[in-house]
């Protein structure tokens, strides 16, 4: 198959793409026709598929059931979810996850990292997600994080449940140090999670310091263990909203460790703009982590949606454009190059976090997966909220 006339990743000149057996065979200008089927992309933008690097698929589409989060805080969200969790059954999980995945797919997303709550003695969501991962493989690559929503040390048998989820087949280990009862539990939980990941050769993605407490210091523990255990960029710190409130002298010191540790960051600008600053009067903090400064230090940052219509976020349709749009505003990254390159938060940067760069990208010999946008470059696409004209996965039109 030959695709003609594409602007690949904001290039200034048109290129053609030859796909054979689901692989990018050749990319270049004015490729000669070799008797294959030809599709004219008409000067549209081609990007690698979008990647959702942080969402909770098991909680999606449950907002208001059984109660709405009235305060808009993370902690009330956790209470609402705890009540919804009592009603979980397999059919309910399957139906909601499938719906959310199809919403994402319609917006050109082909890879999802989902956190799945394992503070459930039955591990029902984890079991169901593992079977859905197989079942949905033709439309979506799903990576599963065993996420201890109510704590590792502060929940009955939290350590055992996390380990069981890993043995069951979770791809990554999570933790939630800012939610643990004590500072000691916070450190112990991070130690436990990272050692477990090292032992079972898994990735790590910690819900880290998702609080406006400037004394919340889970991040330094995560980074130090990532370095000491040699896990490095297999480790991701998600949210890190307390970093918004750290004093600058501490951040200056912390940056050295963050660079040495090579860990990734995921910011969730829609959700944390909504959840954070809730205990403030005025001025109200935004609470999104220091994206611009991390990027300037050469640290990898991606953006996630975090939630679609659940106890933590009452809106959302699976369009990562909205996440980028909010992120650029709240992080004040509105320079021309910032806007033009902002697709990287939901493509290449996210691919690094998910550890899929070996099979990701519009490059010769890689799987022919890409999206075509009704726009000439990403600035234009973002500004006009352009639709995804087509999404190809391993050479097949979705």
Instruction: Kindly list the residues in this chain that would bind Fe ion in the complex (CB under 5 A).
Output: 306
267 binds, among ligand 17E, Fe ion, none (CB under 5 to 8 A by kind): none
Answer yes or no: are the C-beta atoms of 175 and 189 closer than 8 Å: yes
CA distance 255 to 293: 9
Please say which residue, 74 or 324, places its beta carbon nearer to ligand 17E. Answer: 74
Which residues 6+ apart lie within 8 Å of 252 measured at CB?
none
With CB under 5 to 8 Å by kind, the binding choice for 187 among ligand 17E, Fe ion, none is none
Instruction: Choose between 264 and 369: whose C-beta lies nearer to Fe ion.
Output: 264
Which residue lies nearer to ligand 17E by CB, 79 or 164? 79
Closest approach, Cβ 128 to ligand 17E, in A, equals 18
Which residue's Cβ has the minimum distance to Fe ion?
A: 306
**Which partner from the list Fe ion, ligand 17E, none does 312 bind, CB cut-off 5 to 8 Å by kind?**
ligand 17E
Q: Identify what 120 binds: ligand 17E, Fe ion, none; CB under 5 to 8 Å per kind.
A: none
CB of 13 to Fe ion, least distance (A): 40
Sole residue written with tokens 């460790």: 257
Is residue 2 within 8 Å of residue 32, measured between CB atoms?
no
Enter the tokens of residue 8: 């690949």
Smallest separation (angstroms) from ligand 17E to the CB of 29: 45
From the number of C-beta atoms within 10 Å of its C-beta (0-12, 13-18, 19+), residue 230 rates as exposed
Residue 210 contacts which entry, Fe ion, ligand 17E, none (Cβ below 5-8 A, type-dependent) = ligand 17E
Residue with the CB atom nearest ligand 17E in the bound state: 312
Of the pair 60, 299, the CB lying nearest Fe ion is at 60
210 noted as active-site residue: yes
- Rounded CA-CA distance 137/398 in Å is 13
Closest contact distance (angstroms) between CB of 274 and ligand 17E is 10
307 contact, one of Fe ion, ligand 17E, none, CB 5-8 Å limit per kind: ligand 17E
Q: Is 355 left (phi over 0), alpha (psi -120 to 50) or beta?
A: left
**Phi first, then psi: what are they for 4, rounded to 5°?**
-105, 150
> Least CB distance from residue 54 to Fe ion, whole Å?
6
Q: Among residues 339, 320, 337, 318, which one has the least CA distance to residue 329?
A: 339
Q: Report the nearest approach of Fe ion to the CB of residue 306 (Å).
A: 5
Nearest distance, CB of residue 256 and ligand 17E, angstroms: 28
CB of 369 to ligand 17E, least distance (A): 27
Residue 271 site contact among Fe ion, ligand 17E, none (CB < 5 to 8 Å, cut-off depends on kind): ligand 17E
Pick between residue 171 and residue 306 the one whose CB is nearest to Fe ion: 306
Angle at 248 between CA 243 and CA 252, to 5 degrees: 90
Among residues 26, 210, 228, 293, which one is catalytic?
A: 210
Shorter beta-carbon distance to Fe ion: residue 240 or 391? 240
Return the number of the residue (264 or 391) whose C-beta is nearest Fe ion: 264
Per partner kind, with CB cut-offs from 5 to 8 A, the member of Fe ion, ligand 17E, none near residue 217 is none
Q: What residues have CB less than 8 Å from 167, skipping those under 6 apart?
A: 200
Q: Which is nearer to ligand 17E, 49 or 148 (CB)?
A: 148
Separation between Cα atoms, residue 262 and residue 267, nearest integer Å: 16
Which residues here bind ligand 17E, judged by CB under 6 A?
56, 74, 149, 176, 207, 210, 271, 306-307, 312
Between CA 222 and CA 226 the distance in angstroms is 6
Q: d(Cα 108, Cα 131) in Å, to the nearest integer?
A: 23
Q: Could you list the active site residues?
A: 210
């Amino acid at each position: 198959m030959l695709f003609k006339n594409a602007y690949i990743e904001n290039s200034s000149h048109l290129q053609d793409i030859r796909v054979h057996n689901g692989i990018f065979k050749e990319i270049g200008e004015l490729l000669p026709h070799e008797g294959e089927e030809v599709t004219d992309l008409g000067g549209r933008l081609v990007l690698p598929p979008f990647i959702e690097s942080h969402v909770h698929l098991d909680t999606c589409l449950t907002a208001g059931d059984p109660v709405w989060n009235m305060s808009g805080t993370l902690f009330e969200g956790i209470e609402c979810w705890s009540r919804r969790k009592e009603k979980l059954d397999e059919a309910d999980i399957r139906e909601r996850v499938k719906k959310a995945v199809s919403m994402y797919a319609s917006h050109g997303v082909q890879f999802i990292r989902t956190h799945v709550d394992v503070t459930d003695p039955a591990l029902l969501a984890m079991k169901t997600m593992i079977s859905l991962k197989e079942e949905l493989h033709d439309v979506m690559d799903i990576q599963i994080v065993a996420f201890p929503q109510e704590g590792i040390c502060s929940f009955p048998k939290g350590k055992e449940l996390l380990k069981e989820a890993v043995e069951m087949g979770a791809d990554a280990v999570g933790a939630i140090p800012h939610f643990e009862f004590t500072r000691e539990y916070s450190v112990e939980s991070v130690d436990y999670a990272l050692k477990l990941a090292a032992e079972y050769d898994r990735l790590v993605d910690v819900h880290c310091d998702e609080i406006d407490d400037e004394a919340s210091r889970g991040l330094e523990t995560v980074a130090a263990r990532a370095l000491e255990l040699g896990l490095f960029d297999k480790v991701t710190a998600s949210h890190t909203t307390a970093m918004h409130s750290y004093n600058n002298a501490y951040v200056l010191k912390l940056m050295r460790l963050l660079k040495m540790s090579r860990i990734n960051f995921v910011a969730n600008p829609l959700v944390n703009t909504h959840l954070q600053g809730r205990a403030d009067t005025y001025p109200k903090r935004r609470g999104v982590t220091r994206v611009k400064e991390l990027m300037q230090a050469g640290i990898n940052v991606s953006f996630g949606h975090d939630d679609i219509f659940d106890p933590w976020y009452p809106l959302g349709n699976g369009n990562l454009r909205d996440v980028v749009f909010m992120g650029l505003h709240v992080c004040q990254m509105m320079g021309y190059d910032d806007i033009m390159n902002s697709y990287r938060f939901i493509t290449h940067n996210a691919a690094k976090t998910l550890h899929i760069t070996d099979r990701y990208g519009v490059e010769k010999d890689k799987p022919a997966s890409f999206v075509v946008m009704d726009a000439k470059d990403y600035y234009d696409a973002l500004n006009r909220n352009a639709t995804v004209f087509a999404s190809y996965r391993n050479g097949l039109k979705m």
